[in-house]
Structure 1
Amino acid sequence: MLTLALNKIEVGTAYAIWSGFGTALISTIGVVFFKEVFNLQKTVCISLIIIGVIGLNLSTAANHL
């Protein structure tokens, strides 16, 4: 999937999305299946990852205009 995405978007953006999505997914799996604690600190950190990925996508889109 990452290889296919590289045909459409830049490498840095693709890797940020790939790693950000993976981090959020693994954290969610840990909470749901392994009953890990999901506190405010984890919520904020995962939110910052998602905001960073969105920011990279927006900056890449702005460069193509």
Structure 2
Amino acid sequence: MTPPAAPGPAFAVVVPSVGRPSLQRLLDTLAAQSGPAPAEVVVADDRRDAGAAPLVLT
């Protein structure tokens, strides 16, 4: 019997965004990828209003 493959290195995706309309498409693409998933996705949105929070928290 072959032992299971060792997992690849953990990685994070950091997305700088200030009112970027394509943020939802980027998050959907990350969720649909077929390769290893990132350990975390960090969205840095420097707006004073809620900004990206509704997209990221869903």
TM range (shorter): 0.3 to 0.5
Bigger Rg over Cα: 2
Greater strand percent: which structure? 2
Normalising by structure 1, we get a TM-score of: 0.36
Greater helix percent: which structure? 1
Normalising by structure 2, we get a TM-score of: 0.38
